[in-house]
Amino acid sequence: MTEPRLTHVDETGAARMVDVSAKAVTAREATAAGRVLVSPEVIDLLRGRGVPKGDAVAVARIAGIAGAKRTPDLVPLCHPIALHGVTVDIDVTDDGVDITATARTADRTGVEMEALTSVAVAGLTMIDMVKAVDPRASITDVRLLRKSGGKSGEWTR
């Protein structure tokens, strides 16, 4: 059995982009989630008349999709891949905003980073939309929930 290693570091310890050219093109999907913790006042605004900047949920959803598409520009060693679908679900709960993003492709490498970036950017956008009302808003629990496709197959948290 081989010892686990960091794939983005070569034998000398230098950062590198992993060569995926020999990998098979397969359907791949990843889902990530996170939360934005906000005040009760923000919850009331999100459920009622809206926040001062506009429809925070709609703006955060679009930002999450845009974030997924820009992942290789934001994460230095991430491969640019053709995204075939990104969905961002936002649920206003009694104590925060739950964000779940799913990214899909048929490519040589996975879409985990795209799903995670989608959640993070949607969360940052939500904070930007509500910061006038709640400067203490914070993002928490950004994590991968599941992935499928490729050589390693299915993984679920």
SS (H, E, C) the chain: CCCCCCCCECCCCCECCCCCCCCCCEEEEEEEEEEEECCHHHHHHHHCCCECCECHHHHHHHHHHHHHHCHHHHCCCCCCCCCCEEEEEEEECCCEEEEEEEEEEEECCCCHHHHHHHHHHHHHHHHHHHCCCCCCCEEEEEEEEEEECCCCCCEEC
Q: Is 77 annotated as a binding residue?
A: yes
Residue 17, annotated as binding a ligand:
no
Is 126 annotated to bind ligand? no
Residues with a catalytic annotation lie at 128
**Beta-carbon count within 10 A of 104 CB:** 20
Is 79 annotated in a binding site? The answer is yes
144 marked as binding residue: no
Binding residues for substrate: 77-79, 113-114
